[in-house]
Structure 1
Amino acid sequence: MTLPVVFIDGDQGTTGLQIHQRLHGRTDITLVTLPAEQRKQAASRAAAINACDIAILCLPDEAAREAATSIENPDVRVIDASSAHRTDPQWVYGFAELNAEQKQAIASAKRVSNPGCYPTGAIGLLRPLLDAGLVPRDYPITVNAVSGYSGKGRAGVDEFEGENAGQATPFQIYGLGLAHKHVPEIQQYSALTERPVFIPAYGSFRQGIVLTTALQTRLLPSGVTGASLHACLTERYAGSRFVEVLSMDASKALTGLDPRQMNATDRLRLMVFENAGHVMLAAVFDNLGKGAAGAAVQNLDLMLGA
């Protein structure tokens, strides 16, 4: 039996390296990458992508668009780990837990766009609650998130681990123009009608994300509480392999949230905290796991029928 050929285009960045490590040694696929001298040769890349069954693009946005347009073989399927196609209606969004139909949509898709790391947490928390009518679609959502520096890619790793590592800023809020590229993705797939405020930050740890959004119950439909929000999330993700909802009691016992607590896993952990009419929704996950490489491999397995 001929094994499906999987080509990783751009296997030297943080996400590409992680995907390569996860796929190296698998016996159900033939894994292809380009040698160093061919990685920037358009003809070599085009030949490789048109000869594979599934291409995984781990490239900057513009390069990902160019790679996608270079495909002439109608049988080639693509997973794009960049943000180039995430809100493109011709691409299937690769968050398998988005709704009951999404796994099958990914499994049969020709073009899949891997979710962004931050949107994975925000959408995982918000979409079930908006679908259930527990949070109004026009709620003024603010999302705060802190990622490990690997979220910057190789530049972030060099900044914190390179020869000038001692000069790196230990904590930095960025995206001060309130126009981060993840905002349209969060709005579209959370099903919000209003643009959310998104405040991202980097910390001086390699990987991991903690993401929170606060709600006031007085602005929610009558009778909605933290407990009912938690029940909705629990029901939505019951039996999920990759998303877990911590019990209210377990959440209440916590005294802090470590963004690294889910590192080296592909799991997204969701929590609900409540006090005096205020609710905080929280997500913790590995930005290189469920937030990137783990999601890409999850989508690949769905596309392979695994």
Structure 2
Amino acid sequence: MVSTVFIDGEVGTTGLQIRQRLEGRNDVRLLSIAPERRKETAARAELLNSADAVILCLPDAAAKEAVSLIDNPKVKLIDASTAYRTAPDWAYGFAELDSAQRDKIAASTRVSNPGCYATGAIALLRPFVAAGVLPANWPITINAVSGYTGGGKSMIAEFEDPNAANYTHENFRIYALPLQHKHVPEIQKHGQLDIRPIFAPSVGRYAQGMIVEIPLHLDLVPGRPTLKTLNETLSAHYAGERFVTVADLVESGAMTGLDPEGLNGTNRMKLFTFGTEGTGQARLVALLDNLGKGASGAAVQNLNLVLGLDEASGLN
């Protein structure tokens, strides 16, 4: 059986990458709207209700409007915006979150695709809080750097188009200085944190790829976990996963640096435990493609799950 899929917002950065991952597959058929009719509510509503699955690649307000247009209860909906990431009646689209999450996604008609930074942060936090290695009320700081494609069309133009009004020559920039970022609520909720984490994002002068990092003073954490404990906890949580892997301490210990572009073009995420045993300090690090596991790759993975297809289809 071939399932029909409509990408609402297919001309954006995430939408285009999703389309590329779906084109050429024989188990899905893409539906498209004529360019001149993209702003016609009736035309969009027709496609939104006729497809087996819909992926929304829209700003929050537009995504909410699109959801309101769907009255066909059979439509499987995946939203890539921030709008529903903490909504209780939506499945959070990080299949590796825990042992039950994959089945929740597969059984749902409403799935919220995670944010890119949030994917890395939650991947690092959830195993430790769930296992009791980190208390839920522990103060967490998250440092991260992303390629500029994570900022959408405006930021892409800012770094790539010399004719753009906001063109910049900056090589590196920190932002979200008031400590208000749209990914923080989902990090807190799905990371199972009682305290709002400090999130310090930055952008580099490269297109895509992401590093998310959480430093810890282990001697201050109850139970004083070791690097070995941290690494074993991560490894146990993600054992058998296809898209999330954990570097062992030998691999991590031999590394002298980490390239944020190292997993570009994939739906993979790799987790590292850095530090020197006995110093009481650790650096937990996630490496992923902000447009892969952090966006379009995750959306395709969730699409496969809700349609009952091989989870890795289009992602190998």
TM-score normalized by structure 1? Answer: 0.97
Partner of 2:314: none
Partner of 1:240: 241
Q: Distance in 1 between matches of 2:284 and 2:141?
A: 11
How far did 1:274 drift? 2.0
Partner of 1:32: 31
Amino acid at match of 1:147: S
Partner of 1:303: 306
Partner of 2:119: 120
Gaps of at least 5 residues in structure 2 are: 310-316
User: How many residues end up aligned between the 2 structures?
Assistant: 305
Partner of 2:152: 153
Partner of 1:9: 8
- Secondary structure, in 3 states, of the residue corresponding to 1:153? helix
Q: Distance in 1 between matches of 2:247 and 2:295?
A: 22
Amino acid at match of 1:19: I
Partner of 2:202: 201
Q: Distance in 1 between matches of 2:182 and 2:61?
A: 14
Q: Distance in 2 between matches of 1:241 and 1:42?
A: 39
1:282 aligns with 2:285: yes
Partner of 2:312: none
Q: Distance in 2 between matches of 1:196 and 1:223?
A: 21
How far did 1:168 drift? 3.5
Q: Deviation string for 1:110-144 (max 9, x for gaps)? A: 10000000000000011001100001111110000
Q: Distance in 1 between matches of 2:21 and 2:13?
A: 13
Partner of 1:90: 89
Partner of 1:251: 252
Q: Deviation string for 1:181-206 (max 9, x for gaps)? A: 11111000000010000011110000
Amino acid at match of 1:272: T
How far did 1:254 drift? 1.1
Q: Distance in 2 between matches of 1:43 and 1:213?
A: 46
1:168 aligns with 2:169: yes
How far did 1:221 drift? 2.2
1:108 aligns with 2:131: no
Amino acid at match of 2:36: E
How far did 1:223 drift? 4.2
Amino acid at match of 2:64: R
Q: Distance in 2 between matches of 1:42 and 1:248?
A: 54
- Secondary structure, in 3 states, of the residue corresponding to 2:81? coil
- Secondary structure, in 3 states, of the residue corresponding to 2:203? strand
Q: Deviation string for 1:71-115 (max 9, x for gaps)? A: 111111100011111001111000000010111100010100000
Q: Distance in 2 between matches of 1:222 and 1:107?
A: 37
Q: Distance in 2 between matches of 1:222 and 1:111?
A: 39
Partner of 1:72: 71
- Secondary structure, in 3 states, of the residue corresponding to 1:167? coil
Partner of 1:263: 264
Q: Deviation string for 1:214-241 (max 9, x for gaps)? A: 1111221224111101000001111110
Gaps of at least 5 residues in structure 1 are: none
Q: Distance in 1 between matches of 2:19 and 2:111?
A: 18
Question: Which 10-residue stretch deviates more, 189-198 or 154-163?
Answer: 154-163
Amino acid at match of 1:67: A
Amino acid at match of 2:11: Q
- What is the aligned counterpart of 2:296 among 287, 290, 293? 293
Amino acid at match of 1:226: L
Q: Distance in 2 between matches of 1:169 and 1:15?
A: 24
Amino acid at match of 1:123: I
Structure 1 segments of 4 or more deviating over 4 A? none
Q: Deviation string for 1:148-175 (max 9, x for gaps)? A: 0000111122222223477332211110
Q: Distance in 1 between matches of 2:224 and 2:133?
A: 9
Amino acid at match of 2:148: Y
